[in-house]
Amino acid sequence: MKHRTTAQFIRAQFSSLSATGVDYAVTAILFQFCSVGYVWSTLFGAMCGGLFNGIVNYEWTFRGTSRSKRSVAVRYLIVWAGSIVLNTLGVILLAPLFSSTIGLGSLMSAKVIVSILVGCLWNFLLQKNWVYRR
């Protein structure tokens, strides 16, 4: 049991880091090159990263769940919506503390801090114990 939990945690961290890469890339591209505001860039980045993470988690991280795809999808959407709200609000509150003018550096600094907190305290715990629980 402990080995399975450890392996699952490692897979979850790899999946999360990969999804974070997708999230950050979309956020930075939209903000820096497409002149999309930092709030919308953060929201769309989180949506893309969450979609990637949901697919990888279902297929690889928490594979073997006895829940139907529909049940997992509904539960994941609820957790994902909370994650998007927490990440977006966290960046809105934290980014201005780094600089009076929001630039890519202050946006990404806030995003790193917020995403680590949300990932550890919200995403992993709820996905493991509620979304993909056997």
Q: Is the pLDDT of residue 11 over 80?
A: yes
With the C-alpha atoms ordered 44, 91, 86, 122, is the resulting torsion angle positive or negative? positive
- Quick one: which of 52, 63, 66 has its CA closest to 16? 52
What average pLDDT does the structure give for the chain?
87
Range of the structural domain that residue 11 is part of:
2-131
Q: How far apart are the first and last CA of the chain?
A: 13
51 CB burial (10 A radius; 0-12, 13-18, 19+): middle
Torsion of the alpha carbons at 5, 6, 8 and 14, rounded to the nearest 10: 160
- pLDDT score of 69 more than 90: no
Q: What is the pTM of this model?
A: 0.75
Task: Give how many domains the chain has, as a whole number.
Answer: 1
